[in-house]
Structure 1
Amino acid sequence: MANGNCGIINFRKSQSSSKDHIIFTINIGVLYGSLVEDSDCRLTKADVWDAHLRERIGLILADRHDKWWEITPETNAGLMFSQNIDVACERAADYVNKHLTIETIVDLWESGKSPGLTDHQRIKYLSVVKNKIKSNSPP
């Protein structure tokens, strides 16, 4: 958490997973405190699906495609984590930290990009933030 905003890094298990074959990805999100409308959605209990910015890890890695990992009884989990997951988590943390300020998200939304949101949501949230900035309320 920083600046009243919350970064989320979430490991998501696939519905196709079984006891002996786990398939998972990493979801990333940032929730902007000033845009939280639902009093039941507190920053400390937020889920990636509550976030105002959402991205899958694969889309911020070098090859830019959806990335899922698989763990089976034959998987060397230590090696997989040291060679893949550590790097992915570091990239996810960098992405979250980069987007924790309201100024960064305003720039992103003004560029027309809105990872994880519809264009309608992007325009709505951008309007709310700009109105708060104009009225000198904390965004």
Structure 2
Amino acid sequence: MTNLKTPTLDALKQFLHPLGYRKKAGLFSRELKDVVHLVEVQGSRHSTSAQAVFTVNLGIFVPELVYPDVREATKPSIPGGHWMQRLGVLCPENQDLWWKPETPEQALEAADDILNRLRLFGIPVLEALPNAVSLVELWKSGRSPGLTERQRAKFLVALGQV
């Protein structure tokens, strides 16, 4: 059976490449001055040969917040990120969304839906956080999507903001 995530990955590549993103497997990354923006298509363990199950994660990685002795070896990733959010949470539904195409037609519909949501809701949020200073301001406000309160406080200290 055709990989039912492929239409989504292809559509995202076509949309994100002109914005400066590069693709490696299911992860798209864009290096800015002092942060890396991430868009990831995350598969589920519930995927089968008849149905793909996946979601889209967004993240921001701050290399400066990685310990200096492992900075070069640490690759930007959603789990290692310093801001992360599921695309569905940024949409009007404000809930985790998983796409479950079973046919090539449904896979194309999922790709269109994800691309539309990313264009309207995901990319604008990433664009509003273009650097570490913008993350610091967010963290100082008490908001820290994808982080614990302890992580938020630790990152503020590491960036000399406390």
The question of 1:126 aligning with 2:137 is answered no
- C-alpha contact (below 8 Å) 1:9/1:93 kept by paired residues: no
User: Out of 82, 88, 91, which is 1:58 matched to?
Assistant: 88
User: Out of 1, 5, 9, which is 2:39 matched to?
Assistant: 9
- C-alpha contact (below 8 Å) 2:34/2:132 kept by paired residues: no
- 1:48-79, Cα deviation, whole Å (9 max, x unpaired): 11100011111101110111111102643323
Q: Which amino acid aligns with 2:59?
A: G
Change in Cα spacing, 1:51 to 1:43, as seen in structure 2 (3 Å) is: farther
- 1:10-32, Cα deviation, whole Å (9 max, x unpaired): 00011111011111100111011
Task: Report which structure shows greater RCO (CA 8 Å, sep ≥6).
Answer: 1
TM-score, normalisation: structure 1: 0.83
Unmatched segments (≥5 aa) in structure 2 = 1-30
Query: What does residue 87 of structure 1 align with?
Result: 116
Q: How many residues align?
A: 131
Unmatched segments (≥5 aa) in structure 1 = 135-139
Per the alignment, in what secondary structure is the counterpart of residue 69 of structure 1?
Answer: coil
Q: Which amino acid aligns with 1:60?
A: L
Moved more, 87-96 or 16-25: 87-96
Identical pairs, percent: 24
Per the alignment, in what secondary structure is the counterpart of residue 17 of structure 1?
Answer: coil
| Alignment map for 1:1-139 (pairs within 5 Å) | 1-37=31-67, 39-40=69-70, 42=72, 45-73=75-103, 75-82=105-112, 84-90=113-119, 91-130=121-160
Moved more, 2-11 or 96-105: 96-105
Paired with 2:73 and 2:117, the residues of 1 have a C-alpha distance of: 24
Paired with 1:43 and 1:93, the residues of 2 have a C-alpha distance of: 27
Paired with 1:81 and 1:119, the residues of 2 have a C-alpha distance of: 34
Paired with 2:36 and 2:104, the residues of 1 have a C-alpha distance of: 37
Paired with 2:74 and 2:123, the residues of 1 have a C-alpha distance of: 17
TM-score, normalisation: structure 2: 0.72
- C-alpha contact (below 8 Å) 2:82/2:147 kept by paired residues: yes
Paired with 2:68 and 2:98, the residues of 1 have a C-alpha distance of: 32
- Across the aligned residues of Structure 1 and Structure 2, the Cα RMSD in angstroms comes to 2.2
